[in-house]
Structure 1
C-alpha cells in the first residue's frame, strides 16, 4: 500500500510540473544513486513513466551527478531499451520542448533538454511513430535551437557540461539519420550547422564542438540526396561567412578561422575514412574550402 501511494505521488508529479523539483517527489539523492546502481531497473511500467517525467526536472539541476549521471543516463537507457510506449515518449518530448522555452538560470537545462530530445528523435528513427507533421515540427525546433545557442560554455569544474552547440548537433545527427527526412529538410540541417560552424561571436571552440558539428553533415552526405552543386554552394557559403581578415588583424576573426578550419578538418577526416561513396566524393570540395575557397 505504501509503495502504491509512492507511485501515485510520482504520477501527480508528472501532471503538475509547477510543483516539480529535483530530486522528484518520493525520491532523494540516495534513492536516485541506488537507481543508477541497479541499472535503472524499475519494475512497474507506470512508475517508470512517472519517474521519467520527474527526472526531466533534474536536467536543469546544477549538480552534474543528478543532471548528467542520473537523469540523462536514465532517460537515455529507458528510451534505448524501448521501455516506453508512444504516448509516454510524446509526453517526454513535449516536456523537453517546454524546457527549451523556460528560464535556465544555470545554463544547463536547455542543452540537456536538447541532448535528451536527440534520444527522442532516435526512437522515431528506430521504430517510426511521428507523423510527418510531428517530424517536421521537431526538425524546426532542432534547427532553431542550434541556431539560437549563444552560451558557448563547454565544461566547467563543479557544474560539468553545458555544451549547447554539441548537444544541438547531436539532436540534428539523429534527425539526419532518419530515412523519413527528405532532401529539403536535410538542407535545413546543413544551414543550421553552418551558423555555428563559424559562429558570429568569435568564440573559439575548445571542447570538441567541431567534430560534433561535422557528424550530422557527414550523415547528410551519406544519404546521397543533395546534388554536387548544393554541396559546393554550402561549402562556399562557409568560407564566405568567415570573409577576409580585417586590416591589422582581429582576434575574433582568428577565432572564427580556427573554428572553420577545425570543422572542415573533421569533415575531411570523415570523408577520407568513409567507405560511403557519396561522402568520399566531397573530399575535393572540402579540401578547396580548407584552402580558402
Structure 2
C-alpha cells in the first residue's frame, strides 16, 4: 500500500511514479480516482521527456488489461501526457484498437466507482485531435467507429457531451479539408438509412445526441479550456453543420 500522506508531497521520482501508476489500476475508487489520478496529472508537467514517454508506454499497454478500471483510467493520464507534448504513434494505435472495441460502457459502478470508458476515451481523443503528429481525419473516423459500435448501453453520464467536444476540437485542425471534415459522417448516415422500424437501438440514441452536441459546437465554436481559453471555430464549420443536420434528419426527419 502507498503511504499517500508522504507521497502527496514527494517529488515525482521514478519509484514514486511507478507506485502511483500502479495505483491507477486499483479497484478501490478512492485510491484510483481521488488519489492516483490527480497526483499523476499534477506530476506530468514536472516529468522529464524520457519519463513522460516511459509512463505513456506503460499506460498504452493497459488498453489490453483484463480489468475494466485499468483500461478506462489509462486514457485520462495519457491525455495529460499528449497535452504536455509527449506522443508516440503506438499510443494512438493501441487506443484505436481499444476505443471502439470496448464493450463495458458503464459510467458508474457501485463498487468500482467511475469507469466511463467513452468519456475518458473522448478526453484522449481530443488530446490526440490537437496534436500535430496525429492525423485528424483518422481520429474523426475513430470517433465514428465508437459511435456505431454495437452496445446495449444508453449513455447516461454526459458521454455524448465529452465525445461531441472531442470531435469538435479535432475539427478545428487547420490541415483538414472540407471533404475530410464531413467524410467521416458517411458511415453514420448509411447506418441510419439502413435502420428498421421499432425501438431505437442504444447506439443510435447515443449517436444522435453526440451529433447534436457537435452541431451546437460547430455553430458556437469550441472552448478548449486548457490552452488559450479563447473560442476556436471549426475549420469548415458551415459544411459540418450542414452535413450533421442532414445525417440527423435521416433518423429524425424533423431535424432537417
TM-score (normalizing by structure 2): 0.85
DSSP-derived class of the 1:51 partner: helix
Structure 2: 5+ residue stretches without partners? 222-231, 252-256
Which of these residues, 84, 89, 94, is aligned with residue 52 of structure 2? 89
Aligned mates of 1:204, 1:217 — CA distance in 2: 19
Does the Cα contact within 8 Å between 2:29 and 2:113 map onto a contact in 1? yes
Aligned mates of 1:242, 1:192 — CA distance in 2: 18
Aligned mates of 2:92, 2:111 — CA distance in 1: 33
TM-score (normalizing by structure 1): 0.75
Q: What residue is the counterpart of 2:245 in the other structure?
A: 287
* Residue 277 (structure 1) shift: 5.4
After superposition, the C-alpha distances for 1:232-288 in whole angstroms (9 at most, x for unaligned) are 3322321222344324x1x4x432331121011110111111151525322222211
- Equivalent positions of 1:236-275 (< 5 A) are 236-247=186-197, 249=198, 251=199, 253-274=200-221
Aligned mates of 1:54, 1:116 — CA distance in 2: 15
Tell whether 2:166 aligns with 1:216. Answer: yes
Q: What residue is the counterpart of 2:24 in the other structure?
A: 59
Higher helix share: 1
Which of these residues, 153, 166, 185, is aligned with residue 119 of structure 2? 166
Aligned mates of 2:171, 2:180 — CA distance in 1: 11
Aligned mates of 1:279, 1:216 — CA distance in 2: 16
Q: Number of paired residues?
A: 240
Does the Cα contact within 8 Å between 1:146 and 1:196 map onto a contact in 2? yes
Aligned mates of 1:56, 1:243 — CA distance in 2: 45
Moved over 3 A (4+): 242-245
- Equivalent positions of 1:1-293 (< 5 A) are 23=1, 27=2, 31-32=3-4, 34=5, 40-43=8-11, 45-46=12-13, 49-79=14-44, 82-104=45-67, 107-124=68-85, 130=87, 134=88, 136-181=89-134, 185-247=135-197, 249=198, 251=199, 253-274=200-221, 276=233, 278-281=235-238, 282-292=240-250
Quote the RMSD (CA, aligned, Å). Answer: 2.1
Aligned mates of 1:113, 1:232 — CA distance in 2: 30
Q: Which has the larger radius of gyration?
A: 1
* Residue 176 (structure 1) shift: 0.8
Does the Cα contact within 8 Å between 1:143 and 1:172 map onto a contact in 2? no
Structure 1: 5+ residue stretches without partners? 1-22
Aligned mates of 1:292, 1:279 — CA distance in 2: 22
